[in-house]
């Protein structure tokens, strides 16, 4: 069925409106349930009031008994979510998809767009515009990192940050002690108490400090204590040489360490601007301050300044306290939703460590390539220079990204399903929260889920959507050599994904 290009037919518009209403109802079902209950309460109450006003005869009072409608319900019906997609939904006709996409997938000024659309269930290619051409993908690289982290580390894994007993120091070797803060890969540490309902700040240094102070108190030790940091889990250069120094200066990235506060931000509420250049020492200083406060009542003395541990801690060093991060799947969601470069690079290195390889730039890129190959994703011609997408040396095709999204949505490795919730939702969350607001793409709001990518002359959008006939489609659109600042390029990608959502192209 063919409709006007870029605009839903009346039938498609109705289906889109029904979908949007359905999602609203699912999200709002507790409020709707309350409304129904209130209405149920109001009807009998209204009858009683009407009876009183009309002067109807009142029966003699009998034994007090709570009416059934006032009793607490024994159970509540759970609303049914969207069930499995119908396997009988028609697969779009490639010619129909191309007829709708070609007029809207156009650049504003210079450069070009490549693109691939596939049927998720069968892998059938429904649209292909130079889909095998290598392109600079920007932050779409994080989709590859998500796959590597979920496979190599595991969705339910957590990273531990420990405080361990270090060697004695000072005159006679026993006048003071060291406490070593050991980085285990959690760069989302909070300065305060652990917040177990959150991802950023799930593990808090104040909580770790209290556990450590209590352990020292039980030993009868009151100090002085010197805090050291062990950040030896990561090796090699802390900055990827493929990154533009201007991007680092602007805060797009920072030197990598296996522990950091707020994903290497000074303030969790400020996600732009320069970052700490030594996130490990800053975390150590914060921990030392919290340890001083936690041990004050017991007379614990904490020395000024924080240093780095030389060498490795003793294998049998006593653990004084430990806090654990949010799960890897939760961290992957945060990375994809907010396009967090620092977190992406950390997860790449942790994927390498999990595979027994060095936690370095080279280890991270090799881990991504290895996991893609093991998953059966074609990597011919692919170049992985970093795992966050800042490097212009990255080269990945739209077809390869479409295959990665297909592996996440419907591939045989079900661990990858943990990444689905991290894809930004058009017009609602993450890096798509302020898009899909104009006439060309508004009908895709709430329906399109995709990872964005943006550099000076690069934009990309790779994700998934259910079309008007109920068929799950995966797609990837990548623009390179674009005119910097051209206003029409992002809307063109958004409109293209919206076309797929509205497509009844069978």
Whether omega before 224 lies within 30 degrees of 0, making that bond cis, reads yes
Look up residue 346 and give its two tokens. 């950390």
CB 450 within 8 A of CB 459: no
Cα-flanking dihedrals φ and ψ of residue 487, to 5°? -75, -20
Only one residue has tokens 């799947």, namely 329
Q: Exposed e or buried b for every residue in 442-452, given b needs 16+ CB within 10 A?
A: bbbbbbbbbbb
Helices (DSSP H) in 227-327: which residue ranges? 245-249, 279-295
DSSP 474: E
3 state SS of 107:
coil
Look up residue 60 and give its two tokens. 């003699």
CB 437 within 8 A of CB 427: yes
Only one residue has tokens 């290598």, namely 134
> How far is it, in rounded angstroms, from Cα 239 to Cα 242?
9
DSSP 259: E
CB 219 within 8 A of CB 295: no
CA distances from 436 to 129, 361, 461, 496 (A): 23, 35, 13, 11
3 state SS of 274:
coil
Q: List residues with catalytic annotation.
A: 139, 142, 339
CB 461 within 8 A of CB 66: no
Look up residue 323 and give its two tokens. 């806090």
CB 183 within 8 A of CB 203: no
CA distances from 32 to 36, 44, 370, 461 (A): 6, 19, 48, 35
> How far is it, in rounded angstroms, from Cα 180 to Cα 164?
5
CB 339 within 8 A of CB 137: no
Look up residue 243 and give its two tokens. 């990154």
Helices (DSSP H) in 355-504: which residue ranges? 361-375, 398-410, 489-502
* Terminal-to-terminal C-alpha distance of the chain: 6
CA angle 422, 470, 406 (to 5 degrees): 45
Name the nearest CA neighbour of 200 among 148, 260, 250. Answer: 260
Rounded to 10°, the helix 489-502/94-101 angle is 150
Name the nearest CA neighbour of 259 among 321, 339, 349. Answer: 349
């Amino acid at each position: 069925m063919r409709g006007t290009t870029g605009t839903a037919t009346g039938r498609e518009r109705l289906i889109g409106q029904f979908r949007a209403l359905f999602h609203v109802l699912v999200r709002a079902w507790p409020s709707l349930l309350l409304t129904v209950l209130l209405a149920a309460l109001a009807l009998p109450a209204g009858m009683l009031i009407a009876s009183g006003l009309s002067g109807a005869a009142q029966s003699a009072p009998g034994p007090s008994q709570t009416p059934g409608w006032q009793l607490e319900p024994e159970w509540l019906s759970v609303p049914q979510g969207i069930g499995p997609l119908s396997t009988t939904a028609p697969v779009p006709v490639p010619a129909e998809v191309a007829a709708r996409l070609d007029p809207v997938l156009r650049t504003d000024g210079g450069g070009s767009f490549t693109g691939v659309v596939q049927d998720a269930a069968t892998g059938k290619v429904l649209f292909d515009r130079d889909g095998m051409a290598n392109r600079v993908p920007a932050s779409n690289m994080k989709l590859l990192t998500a796959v590597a982290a979920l496979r190599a580390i595991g969705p339910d894994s957590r990273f531990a940050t420990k405080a361990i007993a270090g060697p004695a120091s000072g005159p006679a070797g026993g006048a003071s002690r060291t406490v070593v803060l050991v980085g285990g890969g959690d760069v989302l540490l909070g300065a305060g108490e652990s917040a177990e309902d959150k991802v950023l700040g799930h593990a808090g240094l104040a909580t770790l400090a209290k556990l450590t102070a209590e352990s020292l108190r039980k030993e009868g030790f009151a100090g002085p204590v010197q805090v050291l940091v062990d950040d030896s889990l990561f090796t090699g250069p802390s900055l990827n040489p493929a990154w533009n120094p201007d991007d680092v200066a602007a805060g797009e990235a920072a030197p990598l360490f296996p522990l950091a506060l707020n994903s290497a931000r000074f303030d969790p509420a400020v996600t732009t601007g320069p970052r700490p250049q030594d996130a490990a020492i800053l975390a150590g200083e914060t921990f030392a301050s919290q340890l001083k406060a936690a041990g004050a009542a017991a007379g614990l003395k904490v020395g000024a300044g924080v240093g780095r541990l030389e060498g490795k801690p003793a294998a049998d060093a006593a653990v004084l306290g430990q806090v654990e991060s949010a799960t890897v799947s939760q961290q992957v969601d945060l990375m994809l939703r907010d396009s967090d470069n620092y977190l992406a690079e950390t997860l790449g290195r942790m994927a390498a460590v999990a595979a027994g390889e060095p936690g370095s730039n080279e280890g991270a890129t090799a881990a991504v390539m290895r996991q893609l190959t093991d998953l059966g994703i074609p990597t011919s011609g692919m170049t992985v220079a970093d795992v966050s997408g800042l490097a212009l040396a990255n080269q990945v095709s739209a077809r390869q990204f479409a295959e990665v999204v297909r592996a996440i949505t419907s591939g045989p490795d079900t661990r990858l399903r943990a990444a689905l919730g991290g894809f930004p939702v058009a017009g609602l969350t993450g890096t798509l929260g302020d898009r899909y607001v104009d006439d060309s793409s508004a009908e895709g709001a709430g329906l399109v889920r995709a990872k964005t990518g943006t550099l000076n002359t690069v934009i990309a959008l790779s994700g998934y959507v259910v079309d008007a006939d109920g068929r799950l489609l995966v797609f990837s659109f990548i623009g390179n050599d674009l005119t910097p600042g051209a206003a029409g390029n992002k809307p063109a990608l958004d409109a293209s994904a919206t076309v797929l959502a509205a497509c009844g192209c069978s």
